Structure 1
Amino acid sequence: MHFGDFYYPLPANEPVLSYAPGTKEKAALKAAIKELKATKLDVPMYIGNAEVRTENKVSMHPPHERKFVLGHYSEGDATHVRKAIAAALKAKDKWANLSWENRANIFLKAADLLATKYRFQMVAATMLGQSKNAYQAEIDSACELIDFLRFNVHYLSEIYRQQPLSVAGVQNRVEYRPLEGFVLAVTPFNFTAIGGNLPTSAAMCGNVVVWKPAHTQIYSAQLFMRILQEAGLPDGVINMVHVDGPVLGEVVFAHPEFAGVHFTGSTGVFNYMWKTIGQNMSAYKSYPRIVGETGGKDFVLIHKSADADVAVAALARGAFEYQGQKCSAASRAYIPSNLAIEIKKKLVAEVKTMTVGTVENFTNFVNAVIDEKSFDKIEGYIKGARKRDSKSKILVGGKCDKTEGFFIEPTVIETTDPYYVTMCEEIFGPVLTVYVYDENKFDDILKIVDNTSAYALTGAIIAQDRYAVETATNKLRNSAGNFYINDKPTGAVVGQQPFGGARASGTNDKAGSILNLYRWLSARTVKEVLTPVRDYRYPFLQEK
């Protein structure tokens, strides 16, 4: 029996470990990396109560060490997608009817397991599988994922407390139901935390989920799946499949019980999903929820009043942390003419200090890009700039080598054309393009920043002049869903900066906030009249 309402207060953000020399965490992380490399994994799909393996084995390799085999995963096909949907729907009623406190405590336990027992294993898996350095893996696969789980429990608890007004003789209430059907979660390679959040945020609300992680993130995704199981997640609530996107879409988007998609990935794929769902509307029981965070062409706008050192630090970190493979990474920068010489000189000097190499050498700031397809695409942009036409030149970096791993030096391109190709197109790699503008034409450059890209994810203004800050904040209101003042445009923290953008960057449903969770709930209003009327007649009908 249920005889109480259980509320979960606002948690604190998970502390970030430093991995500084001599710390216990540094030794523990190195030991975890060694242990993982000594074990070859055979990763199954998780469908219902079964670990499903196939004859089609795909090898997993660290991007920075191409020849090393971490293990293999079983690749599935359409039959496995159908089985995952069936398993989810079989689990649906029992999961949806589970009391809130028992649902919530599964995810809180998973957060605690991540924070303690599995922390270094998860960080190590992210380092090896996705080529993240220790700090980037820590803030992602440990801290952010822990925060997603804990804060979402709190936010959902807040939603459940929101109830309508009741008046004399009438009792009103709202029930927050899960969606009718199953939810599809499609997650990217670049953040283990996103891989964990997209399926669990929907599941936390009582939904059942089919989860397709990016193939290049399966190595860390499987560990999180096992953590959820250890935390007590019932079979079938989240089902993880390894299939190609078109195979997945053909089955899922034709299913009458499809209730929504939680997506992070490319704008092109998301647009195709939206189109397909629209064409299939007559097949569905209800209107599916479509939630997505897609690409970015994120900017740093530097005002003539800026502190040059602040600007350089924002560019260096914003553009080159995790090889620029963040949807929020600084990709285009606008430098005022009065600071151009100083900023370019200092930025070039800083980039030259960045070492590139394997994650196992903790002194490397930059590691490998995710795979050969990405490497070739990024190298193509650099080769284009290296032609040294009248519009572009490489200020620093530009070396690309995929002999041992997919290594690309952090690269800064300068262009004389604010609409040059690398100022407009998403590159998703360690490439920053800078454009020098007339320091006295700030209003003009604001218009260029606003209309250069179809994306509107993140952006930053670096300035000491408060009038300039306010002007940029207002004029660029629709240019970025996350806007930063005197900081890099990356590093949103759960509970502090709800994350998401608009325009071609997605639906702006703000992962890691209460806003996102509303999308996975369906409200039902219940009115009970305590003293029912017994006559249809109203007083106005009487003349006397």
Structure 2
Amino acid sequence: MQTNASTSLANNYVSQSIDCLHFIDGQYVSSLNGKTFDNINPATGKVIGIVAEGGKEEVDLAVAAAKRALQGPWKTMSQNDRINVIRRIGDLILERKEELAVLESVDTGKPIWLSGSIDIPRSAYNFHFFADSLRSDGTEAYQMDQVAINYSVRKPLGVVGLINPWNLPLLLMTWKLAPCLAAGNTVVMKPAELTPMTATVLAQICKDAGVPDGVVNIVHGFGPNSAGSALTEHPDVSAISFTGETTTGKIIMASAAKTLKRLSFELGGKNPNIIFADSNLDEVIETTIKSSFINQGEVCLCGSRIYVERPAYEQFLEKFVAKTKELVVGDPFDAKTKVGSLIGEEHFNRVKGYIELAKEEGGTILTGGRSPEGLEQGYYLEPTIIVGLDGNCRTVREEIFGPVVTVIPFDTEEEVLAQANDTHYGLSASVWTNDLRRAHRVAGQIDAGIVWVNTWFLRDLRTPFGGMKQSGIGREGGKHSLEFYSELTNICIKL
């Protein structure tokens, strides 16, 4: 729910200029050449502040600070003290929850209820979770009869570059930063240029929590020929963790190859949502509304390819269209709003281009496809349902990353599995059925990093998370994150 306090905060942030500086070696600093770029509020299309634009010089300074910090108090800090610092970061995020939620909604255009109920609490929990994991996590030990014993020692990688997307800025940045710090590394973060504000605040939160200067650094900027490429090419950066679009991932991979950096990628998705006729349609509709349109469909896990078994197809469409029409598109700080603004003009035009392409490909728009009346300022788009397309159409095959879904009927398991797997992506999938054997059978044959059965976005942070094919490299979560952010040394002692 919207609160008077959040409304007041929002009005304050929207009415004043909010500037974002780099954070290097414990201090906020401008770019050496004074360069900046505008930060746009996507809900209004207006400038809300300026952002320092960094490049190679700022990245060099940040990496040097991080490299020095590796040998400083962060290295000598006891594990228990580091756990307490990491937990404290989560506590401070919760103490500033309302402020951070407002900043996130101003920066992204998402509804304030979403920022306040999911983005910020989960950001805090990421630190709490990995602090607890560090306390309980162990390493391997093997005894070779009575000859020798082997045991593993976990060590930090060094300086790690974290490159973040714009759709869930604080949530996904903390998802990387928490395990990276837990493993003892130092960090240079590059937030998405479209959403710099909460990351900028996070740097101060880390310092207030007791993180030594130089351990956490931020350089704002762009990708090619800017802060992003400087970070991925830097010889003193040991690893890059990137969440974002697949094409950018390929560019980063090529750049990182020069220094053989360790890579973790969570990339794009074109996720299937498979609905069998024996499932509970009311339950399916309630969750599918979320998996289609939450966060304006700007979530890599959204189920944008919906496949419905033919006996349930017409009934599903009737209910799905009706519920979609009830979604209120509007001001992120209006309590009635369920769908806010898309991230910016370029992305807005891209998503609208796919809707026009769907018409050219023979698709029919059952609802949506337009900007709501009265919302000419900002980048708003009605939730859109498209039918009449087959699996060869670009609208079905390519990631749109907006409030746009296609619905396609199917007749057999074999048919829908073939369609679900006929993609370059393999991030997630959902399967809806009350047949237990079918649930196991179908879920096990889908090429995706995570498959939900009769649910969506239900996450246990201990489990592996990541994509197959062009949806990513590696896995995050629990021990998988700690393994990525650390080196293991095996020590063999002859008895």
- TM-score range (shorter-chain normalised) is over 0.9
Aligned to 1:53, which of 17, 26, 30? 30
- Who is 2:13 aligned against? 36
Give deviations 1:296-352, integer Å, cap 9, x for gaps. 001111112122222222321111011000000111011122111111111111111
- Tell me if the contact between 2:237 and 2:261 (Cα under 8 Å) persists in the aligned partners: yes
- Tell me if the contact between 2:83 and 2:132 (Cα under 8 Å) persists in the aligned partners: no
Alpha-carbon distance in structure 2 between the residues aligned to 1:480 and 1:51: 41
- Who is 2:173 aligned against? 195
Aligned to 1:265, which of 215, 236, 244? 244
- Tell me if the contact between 2:306 and 2:405 (Cα under 8 Å) persists in the aligned partners: yes
Aligned to 2:432, which of 449, 453, 462? 462
Alpha-carbon distance in structure 2 between the residues aligned to 1:106 and 1:34: 33
- Tell me if the contact between 1:310 and 1:462 (Cα under 8 Å) persists in the aligned partners: no
- Who is 2:450 aligned against? 482
- Who is 1:182 aligned against? 159
Give deviations 1:403-427, integer Å, cap 9, x for gaps. 3010011000002412222211000
Aligned to 1:396, which of 367, 391, 395? 367
Task: Note the C-alpha offset of 1:200.
Answer: 3.4
Which range is displaced more, 117-126 or 250-259?
250-259
- Who is 2:288 aligned against? 315
**RMSD, aligned CA:** 2.2
TM norm structure 1: 0.85
SS of 1:46 mapped into structure 2: strand
- Tell me if the contact between 2:161 and 2:232 (Cα under 8 Å) persists in the aligned partners: no
Q: What is the correspondence of 1:7-406 to structure 2 with a 5 Å cutoff?
A: 19=1, 26-54=3-31, 55-67=34-46, 69-94=47-72, 95-115=74-94, 117-160=95-138, 162-165=140-143, 173-179=151-157, 181-191=158-168, 192-246=170-224, 247-278=226-257, 280-281=258-259, 287-387=260-360, 391-400=362-371, 403-406=376-379
SS of 2:28 mapped into structure 1: strand
Distance change (3 Å), C-alpha of 1:222 and 1:203 = same
Alpha-carbon distance in structure 1 between the residues aligned to 2:148 and 2:312: 67
Paired letter, 1:319: S
SS of 2:45 mapped into structure 1: coil
TM norm structure 2: 0.93
Aligned to 2:461, which of 475, 492, 495? 495
- Who is 2:480 aligned against? 515
Alpha-carbon distance in structure 2 between the residues aligned to 1:271 and 1:57: 27
Give deviations 1:456-495, integer Å, cap 9, x for gaps. 111111112223212211221xx2211111123xx24353
Which range is displaced more, 327-336 or 55-64?
55-64
Task: Note the C-alpha offset of 1:112.
Answer: 0.8
- Tell me if the contact between 1:333 and 1:433 (Cα under 8 Å) persists in the aligned partners: yes
SS of 1:216 mapped into structure 2: coil
Q: Give unmatched runs, 5+ long, in structure 2.
A: none
Alpha-carbon distance in structure 2 between the residues aligned to 1:161 and 1:337: 50
Distance change (3 Å), C-alpha of 1:498 and 1:227 = same
Computing the radius of gyration from Cα coordinates, the structure with the larger value is 1
Which range is displaced more, 240-249 or 258-267?
240-249
Distance change (3 Å), C-alpha of 1:393 and 1:97 = same
Alpha-carbon distance in structure 2 between the residues aligned to 1:415 and 1:306: 23
- Tell me if the contact between 1:348 and 1:396 (Cα under 8 Å) persists in the aligned partners: yes
Alpha-carbon distance in structure 1 between the residues aligned to 2:202 and 2:55: 22
Distance change (3 Å), C-alpha of 1:465 and 1:492 = closer
Q: What is the correspondence of 1:441-456 to structure 2 with a 5 Å cutoff?
A: 441-451=412-422, 453-456=423-426
Task: Note the C-alpha offset of 1:50.
Answer: 2.8
Distance change (3 Å), C-alpha of 1:292 and 1:475 = same
Q: Give unmatched runs, 5+ long, in structure 1.
A: 1-18, 21-25, 282-286, 531-544
SS of 1:206 mapped into structure 2: coil
Give deviations 1:136-168, integer Å, cap 9, x for gaps. 212443221112111112222333465554986
Task: Note the C-alpha offset of 1:201.
Answer: 2.2
Which range is displaced more, 27-36 or 209-218?
27-36
- Tell me if the contact between 2:190 and 2:228 (Cα under 8 Å) persists in the aligned partners: no
Paired letter, 2:419: I
Alpha-carbon distance in structure 1 between the residues aligned to 2:228 and 2:86: 28
Distance change (3 Å), C-alpha of 1:130 and 1:492 = farther
Task: Note the C-alpha offset of 1:35.
Answer: 4.1
Paired letter, 1:108: R
- Tell me if the contact between 1:494 and 1:513 (Cα under 8 Å) persists in the aligned partners: no
Alpha-carbon distance in structure 2 between the residues aligned to 1:276 and 1:485: 38
Task: Note the C-alpha offset of 1:172.
Answer: 5.4
- Tell me if the contact between 2:139 and 2:153 (Cα under 8 Å) persists in the aligned partners: no
Paired letter, 1:458: S
- Tell me if the contact between 2:364 and 2:388 (Cα under 8 Å) persists in the aligned partners: yes
Alpha-carbon distance in structure 1 between the residues aligned to 2:10 and 2:142: 52
Distance change (3 Å), C-alpha of 1:151 and 1:200 = closer
Residue identity over aligned pairs, in percent, reads: 25
Alpha-carbon distance in structure 1 between the residues aligned to 2:363 and 2:413: 22
Paired letter, 1:317: K
Paired letter, 1:190: N
Give deviations 1:172-218, integer Å, cap 9, x for gaps. 54321111x42111011111211223233212211111110001220
Give deviations 1:236-295, integer Å, cap 9, x for gaps. 1111001221223543344332211011011111112212222x14xxxxx421111000
- Tell me if the contact between 1:76 and 1:241 (Cα under 8 Å) persists in the aligned partners: yes
Give deviations 1:52-91, integer Å, cap 9, x for gaps. 1143232323211112x43222112221111111111111
Task: Note the C-alpha offset of 1:234.
Answer: 1.1
Alpha-carbon distance in structure 2 between the residues aligned to 1:294 and 1:76: 24
